[in-house]
């Protein structure tokens, strides 16, 4: 389709810009976690054949070599492959890292590699549908091979944020003008409100706006198929912990790297240091009033579309009152809200958000140890590039 062709042509070029890659690598929360996860599990990489796919700059290839990999096959369709090749040659690793400017399906035979490393995550985990690409690459993985990351949890929680709701509506105030150079624009105001409400909001927030514990939907990279990612249904039943208006649902994700020696977690939760993925909030068309102790039930349905993204269908009902609201949002067209976080590296209230399994293994704060000093001293991360 024309949309698919446009994406295939544009996205690799956009993804291959060095200024963007610099921004992604300077997300030290992410980069340090990958580095630690691989080196802590060096026995899983030593003398092994590793496939690096959907990881942008190819830095994971170098980490795999540091862990003792015998051979790393870096597959990157697009102009970024040539920059990776320059780094490979200048670092004297041409005998260890093979860079292929191609798609995985066209260059690798089945069951050819021991480990697959990747960085396919987008907003709300799946926004760019790169996870499907990684799952398709599993045909190259040996039967007992490893996936890094191994699985991901997409978290959903209701929030109350009156300021955000009215701020988002205020964006459409322009269309209320009745004399814009002599033209009455007000007939388009309702359409503008509807369009803006269809935009997921990429930002970060204080955990106190959440009015219930999160529920999570797990994607096991070793077991899931690309077809499983075409339609994701997440039912929820939240027991509300305060009275007031529920304005929408908030989303974030965790990924786990499960090796033979350690399991390392990386979280994009609002309680953790800010990453390039931030968090995502989806507003309801109409806020729902509910009392503390009441139940908000419903479903989040993510349906893959031909724009290399998802349509997000939300339905929510206050069980005790029967009040219902919802929304359909376009994950391909998010609104990037100004982010000015003030986070420390310590987790504030992780237990409020997570189950016990994400407390095990090596936490992200540990993965940050040894990261760039400037990052560790700075409580605010400036995110210049977001997509």
DSSP line for 184-203? --GGGHHHHHHHHHTSPEEE
pLDDT of 15: 53
Ranges of residues in the chain with a pLDDT under 70 are: 1-16, 339-387
pLDDT of 342: 40
Encode burial over 280-319: b for 16+ CB neighbours within 10 A, e otherwise.
bbbbbeebbebeeebebebebbbebeebbbbbbebebbbe
pLDDT of 377: 32
pLDDT of 58: 87
pLDDT of 374: 32
pLDDT of 339: 57
Tens of pLDDT, residue by residue over 178-201, are 999 999 999 999 999 999 999 999
CA distances from 38 to 111, 130, 340 (A): 21, 21, 31
Record the pTM. 0.84
pLDDT of 371: 37
CB 30 within 8 A of CB 276: yes
pLDDT of 21: 79
Tens of pLDDT, residue by residue over 224-256, are 999 999 999 999 999 999 999 999 999 999 999
pLDDT of 380: 32
pLDDT of 16: 53
CA–CA separation, 339 and 380 (whole Å)? 10
pLDDT of 358: 40
pLDDT of 325: 99
The closest alpha carbon to 215, from 198, 199, 235, belongs to 235
pLDDT of 355: 40
């Amino acid at each position: 389709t024309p949309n698919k062709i446009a994406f295939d042509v544009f996205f690799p070029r956009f993804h291959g810009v060095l200024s963007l890659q610099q921004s992604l690598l300077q997300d030290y929360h992410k980069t340090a976690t990958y580095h630690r996860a691989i080196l802590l599990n060096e026995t899983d990489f030593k003398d092994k054949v590793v496939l690096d796919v959907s990881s942008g700059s190819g830095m994971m290839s170098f980490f795999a070599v540091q862990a003792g990999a015998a051979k790393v096959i870096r597959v990157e369709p697009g102009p970024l492959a040539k920059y990776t090749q320059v780094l490979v040659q200048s670092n004297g690793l041409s005998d260890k890292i093979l860079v292929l400017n191609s798609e995985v399906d066209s260059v690798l035979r089945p069951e050819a590699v021991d480990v697959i490393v990747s960085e396919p995550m987008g907003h709300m985990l799946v926004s760019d549908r790169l996870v499907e690409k990684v799952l398709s690459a599993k045909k190259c993985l040996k039967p007992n091979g490893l996936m890094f990351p191994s699985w991901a949890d997409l978290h959903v929680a209701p929030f109350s944020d009156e300021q955000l709701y009215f701020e988002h509506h205020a964006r459409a105030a322009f269309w209320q003008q009745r004399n814009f150079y002599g033209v009455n624009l007000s007939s388009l105001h309702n359409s503008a409100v509807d369009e803006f409400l269809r935009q997921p909001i990429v930002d970060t927030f204080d955990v106190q706006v959440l009015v219930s514990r999160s529920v999570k939907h797990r994607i096991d990279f070793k077991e899931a198929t690309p077809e499983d990612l075409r339609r994701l249904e997440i039912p929820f039943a939240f027991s509300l912990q305060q009275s007031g208006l529920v304005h929408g649902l908030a989303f974030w994700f965790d990924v786990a790297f499960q090796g033979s020696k350690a399991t390392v977690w990386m979280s994009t939760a609002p309680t953790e240091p800010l990453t390039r993925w931030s968090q995502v909030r989806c507003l309801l068309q109409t806020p729902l009033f509910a009392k503390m102790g009441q139940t908000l039930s419903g479903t989040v349905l993510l349906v893959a579309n031909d724009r290399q993204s998802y349509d997000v269908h939300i339905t929510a009902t206050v069980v005790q009152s029967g009040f219902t609201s919802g929304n359909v949002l376009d994950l391909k067209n998010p609104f990037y809200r100004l982010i000015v976080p003030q986070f420390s590296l310590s987790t504030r209230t992780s237990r409020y958000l997570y189950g016990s399994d994400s407390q095990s293994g090596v936490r992200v704060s540990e993965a940050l140890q040894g990261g760039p000093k400037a990052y560790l001293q700075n409580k605010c991360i400036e995110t210049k590039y977001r997509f």
